[in-house]
Amino acid sequence: MKIAVIPGDGIGREVISATLHILQNLDLPFEYVYAEAGDECMRKFGVPLPDETLEICRESDAILFGAVGETAADVIVRLRQELDLFANVRPAKSIRGVNCLYDVDIVVVRENTECLYKGYEFEVGDSAVAMRVITRRGCERIIRFAFEFARREGRKRVTALHKANVLKKTCGLFKNVFYEIAKNYEFDVNDYYIDAGCLYLVTKPWIFDVIVTTNLFGDIVSDLTAGLVGGLGLAPSANIGERYALFEPVHGSAPDIAGKGIANPSATILSACMMLRHLGFGEVAEKVERALENVISEGKTTPDLGGNLKTMEFAEEVLKNIG
């Protein structure tokens, strides 16, 4: 199997190196093909996402992505649209040893290709206007994906977040399609306005299991859920389409700590676990995830979690714990 590896910028390179250190010691049938993208790529080649990188991604079974800086919209957003990675899956699970606000296990499923992130913006006189695009097809496939994910993972409830009381056409469509599709599944289902949903995520997050929502709302809510379990350093994600799949940590390139070797690679390691499950290596994913949780529970962490391990030292501890 071919894995496209895009380290990107800043700590992206460091956390990818740490993650590959683990993967390459697990006797997996993977060929890793490196590709360039991001700010440094822009400086070198004049474009943040070269055609060659896109071609490598299209020829791969999965993509493992680090982080990019100022060119993020031209790289990761474009990759999602070019490869039609319509489903963004972001788990938020409490880990023993991390000072979390709550003990939760929530998954946010976010539509990844529509909404305001289509980038349809223009100026009218001294005003700026953005078009929000929500299609029935887009609603149907992300909502169906959320229910199928919930069934596959043994989840019990699916909740839609929207703002249909104000955005009557776009969010109204999303809410209506949600309940149309829900009739085909045996789950507890409900919906909240996005503002109320954010309130409940802070005050009683245990009422949530799988959340499905539109692109912009999902971007915001999934950072909120990451905050519930210890921050972006522990937040993995998957971008899934019909043909392609890209896995990335949620955090950015963190130029303030780049090069110091102290970045937390947990989110990238957990993203790799999501990749392993996607490719059919669920047992290996379980071993890596369990090892990471054991290491953290023992207090062996990077500085962001109160420890003193370097990025690669943390990866080595995880590898040793896999046994």
Q: Model confidence over 157-174: pLDDT tens digits?
A: 999 999 999 999 999 999
As beta bridge partners, residue 246 has: 63, 239
Domain that holds residue 288: 1-91+234-323
Q: Residue 314 has what pLDDT? A: 98
| In the predicted structure, residue 245 carries a pLDDT above the cut 80 | yes
**Contacts of 136 by beta carbon, 8 Å cutoff, 6+ apart:** 173, 177
Residues 10 and 40 in one domain: yes
Give the C-alpha separation, 233 to 248, whole Å: 12
Q: What is the CATH number of the domain that holds 242?
A: 3.40.718.10
Residues 113 and 37 in one domain: no
Give the C-alpha separation, 315 to 137, whole Å: 41
Residues 139 and 196 in one domain: yes
Residues 3 and 63 in one domain: yes
Angle, in degrees to the nearest 10, between helices 311-322 and 282-297:
120
Evaluate whether residue 43 is within a structural domain: yes
Residues 271 and 319 in one domain: yes
Strands of 180-253, DSSP E: 188-193, 210-213, 236-240, 245-249
Q: What is the pLDDT of residues 171-228, one digit of tens each?
A: 999 999 999 999 999 999 999 999 999 999 999 999 999 999 999 999 999 999 999 9
What average pLDDT does range 56-81 have in this prediction? 95
Q: Residue 219 has what pLDDT? A: 95
Residues 293 and 189 in one domain: no
Residues 116 and 178 in one domain: yes
Residues 130 and 204 in one domain: yes
Q: Residue 305 has what pLDDT? A: 93
Q: Residue 44 has what pLDDT? A: 95
Q: Residue 260 has what pLDDT? A: 96
Residues 203 and 298 in one domain: no
| In the predicted structure, residue 323 carries a pLDDT above the cut 80 | no
Report the number of distinct structural domains present in the chain.
Answer: 2
Choose the final residue of a domain: 228, 251, 272. Answer: 228
Evaluate whether residue 96 is within a structural domain: no
Residues 261 and 291 in one domain: yes
Evaluate whether residue 305 is within a structural domain: yes
* Average pLDDT score over the chain: 96
Q: Is 282 left (phi over 0), alpha (psi -120 to 50) or beta?
A: alpha
Structure tokens at 241: 């389409």
Angle, in degrees to the nearest 10, between helices 11-23 and 266-278:
50
| In the predicted structure, residue 104 carries a pLDDT above the cut 80 | yes
Q: Residue 99 has what pLDDT? A: 87
Give the C-alpha separation, 323 to 320, whole Å: 6
Q: Residue 190 has what pLDDT? A: 98
Q: Residue 209 has what pLDDT? A: 98
> Which positions are annotated as active-site residues?
117, 163, 195, 219, 223
Residues 32 and 141 in one domain: no
HSE, side-chain direction, 13 A CA sphere, residue 227: 10
Give φ, ψ of 166 to 5 degrees: -115, -50
Evaluate whether residue 4 is within a structural domain: yes
